[in-house]
Structure 1
Amino acid sequence: MSQSRQRMIESVPQRGFFGHPKGLFTLFFTEFWERFSYYGMRAILVFYMYYEVSKGGLGLDQTTALAIMSIYGSLVYMSGIIGGWVADRLFGTAKAVFYGGILIMLGHIALAVPGSVTMFFVSMVLIVLGTGLLKPNVSSVVGDLYAEGDHRRDAGFSIFYMGINLGAFLAPLVVGTVGMKYNFHLGFGIAAIGMFFGLLVFVATKKKNLGLAGTHVPNPLSADEKKKVFTWGAIGAAIIALLVFIGSSMNILTIDLFVSLVGIFGIVIPTIYFVVMYRSPKTTDVERSRIIAYIPLFIASAMFWSIQEQGSTILATYADKRTQLHFAGIDLSPAWFQSLNPLFVITFAPIFAWLWVKLGDKQPSIPKKFSLALLFAGLSFVVILLPAYLGGNDSLVSPLWLVLSYLIVVFGELCLSPVGLSATTKLAPAAFSAQTMSLWFLSSAAAQAINAQIVKFYTPETEMAYFGTIGGIAIVFSLILFIISPKIESFMKGVK
């Protein structure tokens, strides 16, 4: 362990939060409130876009709204590149978390102001940049709390993941109810307040609980490099702004073109990242081997999230238009279904964590857990096509079908998400630690960039073919990944 790493570990109180470092408390509740704000906004955003203006919405076409929703999610995770780079090369992960939280809060405030499509896009830019700074870096700080080989590490990430899902569970119930029943903008305002609480927790407890965690800059820019970066960054931003202005004025920059461009970036950017890290002279031979092992895991993750993230697009629309919302004497809000995923994660995460500990060395390897995740994801889509098969696509279906689909995909999520976060911190090259965490979130960006294209094929008439095709492809790939798992493990060079 390097001396700087040793000093960082020694500066963090190593007991104080369920047997874990005290800093986990700070990061748990910071991320709880950040996820509350994000998932609260997301629970009502697609409805806000396609509901008629008379109902408080923007009145966009439903297909367009679904594509924008997917692109929004893609850009949120894609911006993690910026956040990871800034943390690795400028001012560390802790400051990135703080500045990101401020931008997210301002973005939700912009949504809370009754206005126009213009304010909607302003909020998108702020939330995208803010989440890019906060999301990958707060996870990296969790990794900084533990020494190499600390057996509490995976359990710590599981507890942290629980904080994410507690916020995500409560948000649709609170923000969703207010936004759908009373006023969309009031709901967005509550999301802004949630992010404010997250910032409050972070600032109030950071110094005492985190110590030096998140302050180290692993690959700092030299003075000359900083000058070049800021100069070219300003030029690049000016060129992009000019192109957007010209494209909008001449009606060249359409939503469809923008969706296509983001889709291309969603694939190209991760590819460039893998090449740069692999070829870097700062990457050792062992780290290069681990990068090779990470590639199939990245692809599997992108495929999994492509299905899971449709819970806020296709399945949200399904809940709104294809589901019987008066059930067991209760009038259900379509936004409430967004709470099912985190509810099931909260319920079953301890069981999965116990299972991995119980199995010990006999538990499935990381690649095999990813293959199980893909299998469950595929089955979740196979299940949701059954109502149309059994009763046709003209009648409203029982909400229990949606509940079952969300439950099955959560089993996959618990095999992939906390495992993937932990594996990323283990497989990351030392000079690219925060950026590799950004790369992990780029799998979600790639997934939603793909979703922006495929959601166009969903209609009530194509429902069975849509769910069946995507679900079947995921199941086939899960079998392929399972077969090649031993080869992937050999490239991981001892990482378990």
Structure 2
Amino acid sequence: MIDVNKQKVVESVPQRGFFGHPKGLFTLFFTEFWERFSYYGMKAILTFYMYYELSQGGLGMEEGMALAIMSIYGSLVYMSGIIGGWLADRVFGASRAVFYGGILIMLGHIALAIPGSVPLFFVSMVLIVLGTGLLKPNVSSIVGELYSESDQRRDAGFSLFYMGINLGAFLSPLIVGTIGMDYNFHLGFGIAAVGMFFGLAIFVYTRKRNLGLAGTFVASPLSPAERKKVFRRIGLGVLLLAVIVAITIPLGWLTFESFIVIVGLLGILIPTSYFIVMYRSPRTTSVERSRLIAYIPLFIAAIMFWAIQEQGSTILANYADKRTQLDYAGIHISPAWFQSLNPLFIITLAPVFAWFWLKLGKRQPSIPKKFALGLLFAGLSFLVILLPAYFGGEDALVNPLWLVLSYFIVVLGELCLSPVGLSATTKLAPSAFSAQTMSLWFLSSAAAQAMNAQVVKFYSPATEMAYFGVIGGAAILLSILLFSFSSKIQGFMKGIR
């Protein structure tokens, strides 16, 4: 978006009205609050819905397959953000992308709310993946458009917005999880659909007076000739894909297992291609190439970290359901409630970490060392959860506080790595690829979950100690290597700290 348009957008937005911030932050805060409420509410019960027996209201899938599908689903959600960002930048703008995305997400949850078959389940997954890819990256970009580049409120505004995300993520497993697990899965999914409807309603009815022109400009619109060419290619691509699917499914070539392998390969090939294109581009300077080299070990570390953190909604969800003592201290705990721990700890600890880094000032660890700390905590979170099996055996139910401790430790790692990773990405990105490098950062989670889809099938109560031990140990080993080479990596950053 050119500077003139940026200024027009800022001038069109009422600059006071939400805790001293632009009025549009109210619209985006509650749009994202309800979108995250719907997403994490659905996610809190989805794994259980897949592998619970038909008599229990589930789909009756094999547990390993359900866990792999959940990982693939998470991977595709992050990959689809690339498509959503491109459509907003080149075709219809961020505001319409948010609106269309919200509709698709709501329809996906409605499809889940209808008692039906496995095909209907996959239709819902496609709708939610596409919808989240449209909404998630673009609602964040509109927040940035509310402020001028010199506005001192910008960072605080994003902090408020981030609070909305985590509040929605905290409340939804408690509400949707309780209703979905204790009463009916489809009723739980229906509540998630209602949540997305509330988010859409707030966005539609307040955007004109609160957002002004924010999200309405198309940053780099396609010319009529380009539009015709692009949509012809998209049409041909969709047709080719439909033909391939129509041929390979009857032949038995395209199965759940082969699809998981394909997505796993894409999770590695797409970010690898990004690195190669940016490094070889004539628009990338020698200093920027050096910084890209420094970014590679950070990206690999991020994949390892998210591979552990994202198992909170797969392996640890299964662990909560099958291995945890759910009647504790006179309370019956729903296994879905554990999904609220991550956002609860983030809301509680994020201000503490922000204060701590500020207090340390120039004495705070370098970016590679913070990544190493993040990996160390992630590895420890898995080593902690293997201790109950070591002391009590694989058949005994585990005290729920062990699971709480595991979630707590991995959040310590997340607060060392995630915000630092976002900041490092903006600093190390080649100027010609700044937006695409941010997409690359989110692909670290896509790659991690694509990798998880291959790994989760090895988990069972019998292999529990080996599973947590090998993955946790690998994270700690990578942490030590990253810490050892942190000075070397810092040198490639060419002055970035």
TM over 0.5: yes
Once structures 1 and 2 are overlaid, which stretch shifts more, 153-162 or 230-239?
153-162
Once structures 1 and 2 are overlaid, which stretch shifts more, 367-376 or 469-478?
367-376
Equivalent residue for 1:369? Answer: 370
- Where do residues 40-55 of structure 1 align in structure 2 (5 Å cutoff)? 40-55=41-56
- Matched to 1:227, the amino acid is K
Equivalent residue for 1:471? Answer: 472
**2-side partners of 1:95 and 1:429: how far apart?**
29
Note if 1:341 corresponds to 2:328: no
Q: How many residues align?
A: 496
SS of equivalent residue, structure 1 residue 219 = coil
- Matched to 1:163, the amino acid is G
- Where do residues 135-284 of structure 1 align in structure 2 (5 Å cutoff)? 135-148=136-149, 152-280=153-281
Once structures 1 and 2 are overlaid, which stretch shifts more, 30-39 or 345-354?
345-354
Once the 2 structures are TM-superposed, how far is the Cα of residue 104 of structure 1 from its aligned partner?
0.7
Contact 1:104 1:130 in 2 (8 A): yes
- 1:313-348 superposed Cα distances (whole Å, 9 cap, x missing partner): 100110111111110011111111111111111111
Equivalent residue for 1:130? Answer: 131
Distance 1:24 1:354, change over 3 A: farther
**1-side partners of 2:15 and 2:328: how far apart?**
48
Once the 2 structures are TM-superposed, how far is the Cα of residue 230 of structure 1 from its aligned partner?
0.5
Note if 1:447 corresponds to 2:448: yes
**2-side partners of 1:21 and 1:356: how far apart?**
28
**1-side partners of 2:220 and 2:101: how far apart?**
20
**2-side partners of 1:190 and 1:365: how far apart?**
44
Distance 1:218 1:481, change over 3 A: farther
SS of equivalent residue, structure 2 residue 461 = coil
- Matched to 2:86, the amino acid is W
**1-side partners of 2:429 and 2:93: how far apart?**
16
Contact 1:88 1:434 in 2 (8 A): no
Equivalent residue for 1:436? Answer: 437
Contact 1:84 1:435 in 2 (8 A): no
- Matched to 1:116, the amino acid is S
Distance 1:86 1:119, change over 3 A: same
**1-side partners of 2:209 and 2:486: how far apart?**
43
Once the 2 structures are TM-superposed, how far is the Cα of residue 367 of structure 1 from its aligned partner?
3.2
Once structures 1 and 2 are overlaid, which stretch shifts more, 378-387 or 429-438?
429-438
- 1:69-90 superposed Cα distances (whole Å, 9 cap, x missing partner): 1111111111112112212222
Distance 1:46 1:423, change over 3 A: same
Contact 1:136 1:434 in 2 (8 A): no
**2-side partners of 1:24 and 1:480: how far apart?**
42
- Matched to 1:317, the amino acid is N
Distance 1:137 1:273, change over 3 A: farther
- Where do residues 51-70 of structure 1 align in structure 2 (5 Å cutoff)? 51-70=52-71
**2-side partners of 1:87 and 1:284: how far apart?**
28
Structure 1 unaligned regions, length at least 5: none
Distance 1:317 1:480, change over 3 A: same
Distance 1:386 1:450, change over 3 A: same
- Where do residues 314-329 of structure 1 align in structure 2 (5 Å cutoff)? 314-329=315-330
Distance 1:428 1:100, change over 3 A: farther
Question: What do you get for the CA RMSD once the two structures are aligned?
Answer: 2.3
**2-side partners of 1:288 and 1:154: how far apart?**
28
Once the 2 structures are TM-superposed, how far is the Cα of residue 241 of structure 1 from its aligned partner?
1.5
SS of equivalent residue, structure 1 residue 115 = coil
- Matched to 2:376, the amino acid is L
Distance 1:140 1:423, change over 3 A: farther
- Matched to 1:479, the amino acid is I
Once the 2 structures are TM-superposed, how far is the Cα of residue 178 of structure 1 from its aligned partner?
0.8
Distance 1:348 1:101, change over 3 A: same
Once the 2 structures are TM-superposed, how far is the Cα of residue 370 of structure 1 from its aligned partner?
2.1
Once the 2 structures are TM-superposed, how far is the Cα of residue 307 of structure 1 from its aligned partner?
0.3
Distance 1:486 1:364, change over 3 A: same
Distance 1:29 1:278, change over 3 A: farther
**1-side partners of 2:403 and 2:292: how far apart?**
37
- Where do residues 1-16 of structure 1 align in structure 2 (5 Å cutoff)? 2-16=3-17
SS of equivalent residue, structure 2 residue 75 = helix
**2-side partners of 1:96 and 1:116: how far apart?**
30
- Matched to 1:263, the amino acid is G
Identity %: 76
Once the 2 structures are TM-superposed, how far is the Cα of residue 431 of structure 1 from its aligned partner?
5.4
- Matched to 1:374, the amino acid is L
- Matched to 1:465, the amino acid is A
Equivalent residue for 2:32? Answer: 31
**2-side partners of 1:13 and 1:482: how far apart?**
47
- Matched to 1:185, the amino acid is H
